Structure 1
Amino acid sequence: MATEALPTGQDVLNAARRLHGHVLRTPVLRNDALDEIAGAKLWFKCENLQTTGSFKIRGATNRLLQLSPAQREKGVVAFSSGNHAQGIARAAKNFRMPALIVMPSDAPAIKVEGVRRDGAEIRLYDREHESREEIAAEETEKRGATLVPSFDDPYIIAGQGSAGVEFGQQMRDANTQLDHIICCAGGGGLITGLALGYRQFDPDISIWTAEPEAHDDWRRSLAADRIEVNAPGTRSICDAILTPSPGKLTWALGRELLAGGCAVCDDRIEEAMRLAFRHLKLVVEPGGAAALACALFDLPEAAKGKSVGVVLSGGNVDPAQYARILAD
């Protein structure tokens, strides 16, 4: 696969085989109480229980497996608010490679601690006044390292798509056909990879993006059939999925593979986190709960009464923030 080529379904199947033994096969759960709220039969793919607490270890590991011995010796550089950072840090540790992660100074403490625990170097920056891309480019050149983007890379997309392959296998084993899947969308690496992977089992599946309504670039882009950008300074509690717009590669895939977008306010996302704790006994971070919130409170009309897959993409929530949300 050429560096900038769009990944294919076969690339995702290859990545799933390559990642066997490197990542967890996360469970799929059900809950009748949440079905009743949603008005649909929901199946939860629990990537919040993945190694490092999110799906990001999949793409990170698949990307690092492509590096030559000489490249591994020089190490990698990445920029991320947290989950990609932790995925890269853990994968680099597993392969005994140096890693530098450029992280915003306001990143959740639990994500910063996770990166440090895995031995990666951290460079903090001010997201209001500094460019993470410029910092990462400078560090990459200085070190002779490999820059590993968080989503707009074919190997990252293919690796994330291994979650879709797993989900398809698990639904096949359950003798159940999903009609729809709802998945969070930031840069789009997970949802487009997931679409490629799951479509190997069901080419007719309808897949919907989930976003906070103040940061709904995917929903607007899919509706307009062109890339839409979020206004500068827009914020949400969903730190993990606050990218300015879809990526170049992910948009090229998403406009062909995705059915449309859903979006809910932060209050609904917090309610979804409480419901996940109450009914599933799961810790889900705000960005990871966006798909659940959309399934419960903004389910597409076509999905009502149907079987709907919901991807719980991460569980790395700041403890103080989570305690406040549960107490509300």
Structure 2
Amino acid sequence: MTSRDKLIRIADIRAAAKRLEGIAHRTPVLTSTTVNQITKSQVFFKCENFQRTGSFKFRGAYNSLSQLSESQKQKGVLTFSSGNHAQGIALAGKLLNIPTTVVMPANAPAVKQTATRGYGAQVILYNPKEITREELALSLAQEKDLKIIPPFDHPHIIAGQGTTALELIQEIGELDLLLVCCGGGGLISGCSMITKALLPNCRIIGVEPAQADDATRSFYSKTLQIVHNPDTIADGARTPSLGKITFPLVLEYVDDIVTVSEQAIIRTMLFIWQRLKIVAEPTGVLAAAALLEGVVKNPGAKIGVIISGGNVDLANLEKLFSQI
């Protein structure tokens, strides 16, 4: 057993599912005859936009905070996030009566800033051009004696996110392919681990924006690549790199990583809104974009697609969709 296997095991994902039972939503799986005709396959959308706080991030946040010691719970926690992990931590903290502080970039979507404050977190904004969120978070955590709960590179976070694929497989059964959006790698690490354990022949493909392609370059070079403040509308994928834990997990369990353009993201977002009648954010449709835009093709296959979130800044919709 390798050191990283000890950090997170399949049993940890199953344990996370038990902790989340009755707390997290068991999100719906939607199908579309139109999508099946376009792709010539059977497609199942796992809709984490219906999760509490609007994204899969609540799973890892609650799983992580619920395992803190009593002394850590009383002191509180600190995290850094562009929005979805921030909301997940804030709500988990509220449910568990744990004080939460969140470091967010000043350019994070207003809807995510407002929601994070609404769940009771103290929000500290920063300019990403002046300091990294990791540097600021470490400084504040030391000053306030708070435990840092990172957005993706943490065993309890990864285990919680893996319950997304566990639920999908429990409901749908066999899959030939699973498409997962990729930012820092927490979601795809957990989902690929549990999927390979239950469905060894299922291929796992990660999807990220072409303008934030650090994971793709890392996957193919087998060396961790970094991108600074990538200019993509998929704000959840603006992470500088995969993590020390997620990178080796991605290399071990993921079969491929592909990229999609900004235009593809916008077109897919509009398509999902119009055809599936659900609200999905740019980062949330990355996996769907790879399939609907033909970047990934697998006719005749049974395909799972994770829609990771639905927190959209509605004030920017007209500007966003006008780019098509």
- TM-score by length of structure 1 reads 0.94
Question: Which residue, 257, 261, 264 being the options, matches 1:261?
Answer: 257
Query: Shift of residue 107 of structure 1?
Result: 0.4
2:29 aligns to what?
Answer: 28
2:140 aligns to what?
Answer: 139
Determine helix, strand or coil for the equivalent of 1:199: helix
Question: Which residue, 189, 193, 203 being the options, matches 1:206?
Answer: 203
2:190 aligns to what?
Answer: 193
Question: Which residue, 298, 306, 311 being the options, matches 2:301?
Answer: 306
Asked if 1:316 is matched to 2:311, the reply is: yes
1:6 aligns to what?
Answer: 7
Count of residue pairs the alignment pairs up: 321
Q: Over residues 151-184 of structure 1, what are the superposed CA-to-partner deviations in whole Å (9 max), with x where a residue is unaligned? A: 1100110011111111110113xxxx21001110
Q: Over residues 84-121 of structure 1, what are the superposed CA-to-partner deviations in whole Å (9 max), with x where a residue is unaligned? A: 00000000000111111000000000000110101110
**1:138 alignment partner AA:** S
Asked if 1:252 is matched to 2:253, the reply is: no
Q: Name the CA distance, whole Å, in 1 between partners of 2:96 and 2:229.
A: 37
| Cα distance change on mapping 1:5 and 1:142 into 2, 3 Å | farther
1:239 aligns to what?
Answer: 235
1:150 aligns to what?
Answer: 151
Query: Shift of residue 216 of structure 1?
Result: 1.4
Asked if 1:271 is matched to 2:272, the reply is: no
User: Which moves more between the two structures, 3-12 or 253-262?
Assistant: 3-12
2:47 aligns to what?
Answer: 46
2:217 aligns to what?
Answer: 220
Q: Name the CA distance, whole Å, in 2 between partners of 1:228 and 1:142.
A: 31
| Residue pair 2:229, 2:238 contacting (<8 A) in 1 also | no
Q: Name the CA distance, whole Å, in 2 between partners of 1:94 and 1:284.
A: 25
- TM-score by length of structure 2 reads 0.95
Q: Name the CA distance, whole Å, in 1 between partners of 2:190 and 2:55.
A: 15
Q: Over residues 206-245 of structure 1, what are the superposed CA-to-partner deviations in whole Å (9 max), with x where a residue is unaligned? A: 1101111121122222222222222x34310000111111
**2:159 alignment partner AA:** A
Asked if 1:282 is matched to 2:257, the reply is: no
**2:140 alignment partner AA:** E
Structure 1: give runs of 5+ residues left out of the alignment.
Answer: none
| Residue pair 1:38, 1:297 contacting (<8 A) in 2 also | no
Percent of aligned pairs sharing the same letter: 40
Q: Name the CA distance, whole Å, in 2 between partners of 1:220 and 1:36.
A: 32
Determine helix, strand or coil for the equivalent of 1:114: helix
Determine helix, strand or coil for the equivalent of 1:248: coil
Q: Name the CA distance, whole Å, in 1 between partners of 2:104 and 2:280.
A: 21
Query: Shift of residue 5 of structure 1?
Result: 4.3
Q: Name the CA distance, whole Å, in 2 between partners of 1:15 and 1:247.
A: 21
Query: Shift of residue 326 of structure 1?
Result: 4.4
Query: Shift of residue 3 of structure 1?
Result: 10
User: Which moves more between the two structures, 44-53 or 292-301?
Assistant: 292-301
| Residue pair 1:77, 1:140 contacting (<8 A) in 2 also | yes
Query: Shift of residue 42 of structure 1?
Result: 1.2
| Residue pair 1:165, 1:200 contacting (<8 A) in 2 also | no
Q: Name the CA distance, whole Å, in 2 between partners of 1:127 and 1:190.
A: 24
Q: Name the CA distance, whole Å, in 1 between partners of 2:126 and 2:4.
A: 28
**2:98 alignment partner AA:** M
Q: Over residues 66-87 of structure 1, what are the superposed CA-to-partner deviations in whole Å (9 max), with x where a residue is unaligned? A: 1111111100000000000000
| Residue pair 1:218, 1:245 contacting (<8 A) in 2 also | yes
**2:299 alignment partner AA:** K
Q: Name the CA distance, whole Å, in 2 between partners of 1:262 and 1:132.
A: 27
1:178 aligns to what?
Answer: 175
User: Which moves more between the two structures, 2-11 or 48-57?
Assistant: 2-11
| Residue pair 2:31, 2:43 contacting (<8 A) in 1 also | yes
